Structure 1
């Protein structure tokens, strides 16, 4: 197998030495004018028209096959993690930016190969061969099988040369990672981390959002009327309504349930169609939910009568959507075929589209604008609520704090852990600047309440020092590894970003 990237004779020890001597200048000098990326495709539909490359990053082409594989990988990811196993519609693909994300990922990989070139990284033939031979699907009885290797590649439309080039690039990129991880971390630095982590406190964080408090500012009907008398104010209100209108409009929606019979490795299309036809003879509007619980092969629909809830157009695959929106309320469809299998659809309810009108929303928008203008009232309300919260925290009155939470829609998070090195745990994050203030003050006392008036909220933190028995042991090796990984990722991100920022891009056709 031909696996060498190019004829390079330098060993890793020499490369490491050269790298450490030249790193500080290297990243500044090699980044400028490095790459020309030429995009020559509109998307997945044009893959067959560009057999060699759809893009080029420096001397590295991005082949149509690479793009298709990455595009499919992205589709599978979003299908499984964002769509609960449902196929993506064209609107979903556009909404998630899958075409651009696929290209971006491939460009990043090529940029790392260019970095590897400049850093004199090698992909040794023996290393490439070893990795290929270790793939289990190329083995027979635990041994690499050359015939199986060639047959599997041929079945997937690949040549050994293409596959070995891909693995070589993969090894090449993996070897370049070692250069990003060469960070000397001193024992003294680890000692400081251990000391900062040992400064641990437990506490409560309270957030008073201005947006919630602002809604408590009273606005009279007379104020609204006077506000709208001025043309400039009315125009401003209308402008905000126009900006929000799309989100205020109610689209046509259908509330439906379905029975799904899948086509699988163990159930052919003919068998699935026959099964759905048999079910269709038995099902009606009255017994649909019972029949769905009994027959549907969609796990999430079992026990829920096959319910899909309310959905608008663009959320389902076209074949399903077309039938669902054409049915009347209370009607059950004939079998419908989609990429998922065969469906019976029952429309429980339909919601007509409703267009938002300015008259309906002008009072609400005007009230918001007037509340925004009452800065002194907001300031006073925020101050009063903060005083009440501080009193509750100082007296350790959890019942009062809960009352304030309900009354003012403030956020309260208890049992939050703070340490000087990592900041705080929990959902509510305290900025590093505030964390520094807190720990500078905590040098003087062991328990303290801190309040910060920020741009959009007031944040109050009440802390008490942890006892020593609550402090977990410091794992130096784990900390060293984690820190090196973080620094490595940061350097890699910065280097590849700077490459991208200084890369001229030619795009001939929009994705």
Structure 2
């Protein structure tokens, strides 16, 4: 719920915007927005009253529902009552503030001429046809919404008056002297010296000592922290292809020899160009064949035929080409039948095989040899593992196969990091075959194949624990490491504070060397300095005489000390009016809204559902 509220606060809550009350077609008008006087049906007609004038419930509900519908992807099925109420409250707040701003502008008696109203009307796209203002459309739309030109002009006159007053209050562009000072700060450059310091500098073994009593007390106090699901420990032998890849190397001399021997992948194969004639009958094909057979080679080669294209000898050939054996340029095949049609094939050109340049071929040769070596090693190890698999102990299997024997740490069901992450191994390790009556059976598994990673394992469960709290002996080393790390962080934090005090007092500190000189600007991005350090540098007040010192903690284990030695200001202050205007606009609008509300009588109806 809180996440939804944060999302809404940043994206859909209606802001306090003092703009023209009559929105869109400008047909709502103040008359459609407010009701006047008092009646017994106030709660049904109005959602709220401001200085005795009611805000229309119908208008409110329409705007609220539009906003709720627009953001239905955040509300889901609409059952999120708190979220809906938050939207409704923001809509009503906006309507109240807009009305108060309207009344405030009206009270100033600003003069809006008839010509200004006329110009505003002629600018509104709703009255346009074919890109231009259309008077007939204007009159039709007014009449359809119950307006006359005079009543519409009066409402618009009030709206323009409000807009002008609010623009005069909020949209001025001048920069105060203070704004110029902000510009100087924003664009200045600060000269610093930087020194990095980390938790690794802490090596006080006496201070970091942890007693057995401390370890035992932590265990007794935080036992639930050491709850574990059921788990096993295993011994295993593996033939694992990814591990083999890490050990395989291909020497440059091997690549060179492979290329010199013209083996597969080093040659561009012979290519041949063919043409074809097609016939619908064998008689026609045979007649043409007899005619072409009598031609001289040059004449036969010049006979017009349809090109079949180039074909390399090592690629898959079309069915027709597999039926012929032509080795001489200009030679033709006898008529060939395929799917009821008949064809004559002619060999037009031959491009002999040639060797690829070494520089072009060496990368693919390297990859080929690398993969061949991997496959060979894997097959050899797999054969050895299969021969040794029936031996009575894992030690003998490992020795016979030449593969190493591993001991796993605790492995859990649905493990993510250990050897148990493979479902094939997990299923065997936690099966009745391996565990009986809460104890390991000692049985050695058959070869378990992990097809996804080209690996195979033989396992033996050596220990088993049901779900529960780990024993003190199991976790005391990890507790000790944790307590030492926490002490180290505390000492590190204290040491950083001590070093900063030394710097401020004497200008030097033990173990710090300010060898890194930098010029820092507000928006500096540099690998040498953390962005938090940049902010702290500019938050540091420069000393009147001498240097200023500071430090930035980066997490629990790193710090950056800095010495601020000087500040350089720009020759001319930039105009920051546009940069700071949005924040000033919000601040001024909120202030005006607060002031106007403090002078108004606002009554929210009990059944507003906010």
Q: TM-score range by the shorter chain?
A: 0.3 to 0.5
Structure number having the greater helix percentage? 1
Structure ID, larger Rg? 2
TM-score (ref. length: structure 2) = 0.34
TM-score (ref. length: structure 1) = 0.40
